[in-house]
Amino acid sequence: MLIEDATTSNLDRSGAATEMLTVAQAAHFLRLHPATLYRLVKEGALPCIRLGRLIRIPMSAILGLVRPSAM
């Protein structure tokens, strides 16, 4: 089976669908080097889901990086 869109959909705690991205997809979206995202994941600054060696990053976490925080 060929999957055209590599993003996956999971349910968050509220039951709403959450788009998940690979590190490569998130890096492309943010225009950052993948190593930067791996560092943010390792430091705990970027929430992710680990499935063995796989890392999936919720779109909400990515948007949280680019949105200014409320003051």
CB 26 within 8 A of CB 37: yes
pLDDT for 11 beyond 80: no
Does the domain at 11-66 match CATH 3.90.105? Answer given as yes
Residue 65: band (very low, low, confident or very high) from pLDDT cuts 50, 70, 90: confident
- Strand blocks (E) in the chain: 8-11, 17-21, 49-51, 54-58
Cα 44 from Cα 12, distance rounded (Å): 19
pLDDT in tens, 18-51: 899 999 999 999 999 999 999 999 999 999 999 9
Residue 13: band (very low, low, confident or very high) from pLDDT cuts 50, 70, 90: low
pLDDT for 16 beyond 50: yes
**pLDDT number for residue 5:** 47
